[in-house]
Amino acid sequence: MHYTLIIHEVEDYLAWKQVFDQAVSIRKQAGELSYQVLRDEREPNKIVHFSVWTSTTDARAFFESPELVEIRAKAGVKSPNSSICIS
């Protein structure tokens, strides 16, 4: 199994979640098999996204894609973004 862990802050969780949910088919097509989204109860705009991928190569390709840069901007993702790929 190949996993990713992403931690970032968003401008507005509900707005971010709507864009995130709309991108499910894009993520699946890129190789995401399953995911879990958590948020900090004291800081509700701090997101933890844990997912399982077909390969770390597929995950890295998606996370470094221009398409994702556009999706992150639309969703209101703030920097810095922390992502880790684990196999």
Return the minimum-mean-pLDDT range out of 11-15, 19-23, 24-28, 60-64: 60-64
pLDDT (0 to 100) of residue 2: 93
- Does 80 have pLDDT greater than 70? no
pLDDT (0 to 100) of residue 81: 65
Containing structural domain, residue 67: 2-86
> How do residues 26-52 score in pLDDT, each as one tens digit?
999 999 999 999 998 999 999 999 999
**Burial of 19 by CB count in 10 Å (0-12 exposed, 13-18 middle, 19+ buried)?**
middle
* Short-list 67, 75, 23, 71, CA closest to 47: 75
Q: Over the chain, what is the mean pLDDT?
A: 91
Please give the tally of structural domains in the chain. Answer: 1
Predicted structure pTM score: 0.86
CATH, residue 11 = 3.30.70.100
